[in-house]
Structure 1
Amino acid sequence: MSSLPRISCVILCHNYGRYLDRAITSCLEQKRGDFVLHEVIVIDDGSSDETESVCLRHKGNDKVKVIRRNQQGFGQTLTDAFLVSTGDWVAPLDADDWFHPSKLRTCAEAMTGEALFIEHWEHVVGSDGELMLHEPHPGGNTSTLLVQREAGLSLLPASNEIFFHALREAGRGVAIRDPLTFYRVHPRSMTDRRTPGISQDYRASVCIALSDRLRVMDGNPPAWADGRRLRRIAWHFRALASGHRVESAMQRGKRLTAMLHIPGMLTGTLRARDPLTPWLRSLSSTIVGRPLVRLTTGQERQADS
């Protein structure tokens, strides 16, 4: 039996068949390192395009497994990535993105000590795969994470990859500045960053759901955090939710509404014992009447975290 970490690459796909082959190949063609590529799982979430035929091209590869089912949505597909995989670590991948050949080798070097969560930077590319930004971009989204599977299971069901950020806030995360994923921006990307406030409202709802989950876990803490730490992390995500709501209101031109969320953000920040800098930035934004986040136009991209 190998003592090297076994990594499950799990590809989340709904009608991204035109991109899927590159995603699968990027997992199979990883450079060798101190890890075992345990499996590559494609979860086809009710696709009606060429996804099935693309999967058939890899039918003869024992490493590739395909799960086809009726559409259940992103959250359930992300949850299933942890339920159906059997490796020590899970590397989720949106089917329209792909991994750098050195991703698993580089991340495996960080799978030591207390690490349960690894995140790294990314290259932002267009629908044709050409670079849109010359400089690497911070990650935090689905395709830039690796999560120790047992720790990930403790946070299920997950509606979004933000749920696993709780492991980072518990002091069990490692950040790598290498851009190890190619994040594709195209007209059919799942996240709407062009309509004012939509992305921020969504992230606020995810943060609230995660905060509520952590409070429930307080009664029976997981191995990676005690009750006190869970409560502080829950307040951290409450503060984040308020910050997203401030930004949403500012993008919609509702300055008074934004001001109403400032006290909640401050309360969460203080209870979490977080730095005041994000709160001060949001306060400044509402005072000067200028949103912190510029809406995307198809030529730029904001972080998911």
Structure 2
Amino acid sequence: MNDLPRISCVILCHNYGRYLDRAISSCLEQEPGRYVLHEVIVIDDGSTDETVEVCRRYEDRVRVIRRETKGFGPSLTDAFRLSSGDWVAPLDADDWFHASKLRTCADAITDGRLFLEHWEHVVDADGRPFLAEPHPGGNTSTLLVHREAALSLLPVTNEIFFHALREAGHGYALRVPLVYYRLHPLSMTDRHNRGVSQLYRAEVSAALARRLRTLTADPPSWTARRDLHRMSQHFRALGAGHLVEAQVQLGRRRTCLRPLITMLIDTACSRRSFAPWVRAMSSALTGRPQVAISSDQERRS
């Protein structure tokens, strides 16, 4: 047992009490495998709904950390600072794990891997299928992250920070859906207002680029100074691309020139494919967003 990876499941909750029971039970009812369920933690970020009552039903099996509202970034940061397993499986409280999540991910853990991601089932507010086919992951509930490696990236504002481990060559993607990702009107991500999601992603990518540049002064064990420079430029380019998309969605194509230039230079410096830049340029020239805008978004604009 001492050789098996210890996994901490950490649920992030702010006023998601109506969904929390299912999230907690999905962690506690995981299929056995080559891992140890080290702990299940709920970080209650100042909820004012039934979250406290739901947590009370699991008080003998779950550790609850209740505090004043700090926001998503600090909650995700604390998921790694306050847990003690070898690996952390973060879970948004409105989502829930497939019963084989930990078993399947544990089987994919090998030397050198520090970041695992998998696909997701997208469901509606009532848990019914929203998309007919599984969807690629990358968001909070689709990850399993090596805790010690993640600590060097803290504090974080978004799970995208941990994608740096993948970019450093320590990631692995499982093309199997192991979580149910819930879409509903109270989701944290604003999908109804033009440009909001893309502007947020631009800010996160830029913040990660700055963090990676800071790490070059004392590189963590999982990467080297030269690679940190290139990753920083890569995420700077990604941020510029998100900014271009946001401006196109907002009908401000004239403001796209500067981020397009930034994206071009950083893409060249990071030695990545120019295909994303070409798509961003085409979007700016034609005024057609790369991300489809739904009829609901059109009505709200």
TM-score with structure 2 setting the length: 0.97
Q: Does 1:16 align with 2:52?
A: no
Q: Does 1:110 align with 2:83?
A: no
How many residue pairs get matched?
297
Counterpart mapping for 1:177-256 below 5 A: 177-256=175-254
Unpaired runs of 5+ in structure 2?
none
TM-score with structure 1 setting the length: 0.95
Structure 1 residues 129-138 or 285-294, which shifts more? 285-294
Pair 72,251 (structure 1): closer, same or farther in 2 beyond 3 Å: same
Identity rate, percent: 63
Please state how far the C-alpha of 1:288 moved relative to its aligned partner: 1.9
Question: C-alpha separation between the residues in 1 aligned to 2:135 and 2:52?
Answer: 32
Amino acid corresponding to residue 230 of structure 2 in structure 1: R
**Residue number in structure 1 paired with 2:57:** 57
Question: C-alpha separation between the residues in 1 aligned to 2:37 and 2:49?
Answer: 28
Question: C-alpha separation between the residues in 2 aligned to 1:90 and 1:207?
Answer: 22
Pair 128,167 (structure 1): closer, same or farther in 2 beyond 3 Å: same
- SS at 2:63's partner residue? strand
Question: C-alpha separation between the residues in 2 aligned to 1:65 and 1:296?
Answer: 40
Pair 179,262 (structure 1): closer, same or farther in 2 beyond 3 Å: same
- SS at 1:48's partner residue? coil
8 Å contact from structure 1 (residues 17, 50) kept in 2: yes
Question: C-alpha separation between the residues in 2 aligned to 1:296 and 1:241?
Answer: 23
**Residue number in structure 2 paired with 1:129:** 127
Q: Residue deviations 1:23-79, cap 9 Å, x none?
A: 000001111111111000000000000000000111232xx1101111111100000
Question: C-alpha separation between the residues in 1 aligned to 2:142 and 2:278?
Answer: 28
- SS at 1:264's partner residue? helix
- Counterpart of 1:263 (choices 261, 275, 281) is 261
Question: C-alpha separation between the residues in 2 aligned to 1:130 and 1:297?
Answer: 21
Amino acid corresponding to residue 30 of structure 1 in structure 2: Q
**Residue number in structure 2 paired with 1:31:** 31
Q: Does 1:168 align with 2:177?
A: no
Amino acid corresponding to residue 125 of structure 2 in structure 1: S
Unpaired runs of 5+ in structure 1?
300-305
Question: C-alpha separation between the residues in 2 aligned to 1:152 and 1:246?
Answer: 29
Question: C-alpha separation between the residues in 2 aligned to 1:70 and 1:175?
Answer: 35
Please state how far the C-alpha of 1:113 moved relative to its aligned partner: 1.7
Amino acid corresponding to residue 247 of structure 2 in structure 1: A
**Runs of 4+ more than 6 Å apart:** none
**Residue number in structure 1 paired with 2:272:** 274
Please state how far the C-alpha of 1:296 moved relative to its aligned partner: 4.9
8 Å contact from structure 1 (residues 7, 91) kept in 2: yes
**Residue number in structure 2 paired with 1:41:** 41
8 Å contact from structure 1 (residues 186, 298) kept in 2: no
Amino acid corresponding to residue 219 of structure 2 in structure 1: P
Q: Residue deviations 1:149-171, cap 9 Å, x none?
A: 00010000001001000001000
**Residue number in structure 2 paired with 1:303:** none
Question: C-alpha separation between the residues in 1 aligned to 2:180 and 2:230?
Answer: 33
Cα RMSD of the aligned pairs, angstroms, is 1.2
Q: Residue deviations 1:198-238, cap 9 Å, x none?
A: 11111111111111111111010000000000000000000
Question: C-alpha separation between the residues in 1 aligned to 2:7 and 2:295?
Answer: 36
8 Å contact from structure 1 (residues 98, 182) kept in 2: yes
Please state how far the C-alpha of 1:297 moved relative to its aligned partner: 6.0
- Counterpart of 2:90 (choices 81, 89, 92) is 92
- SS at 1:54's partner residue? helix
8 Å contact from structure 1 (residues 194, 297) kept in 2: no
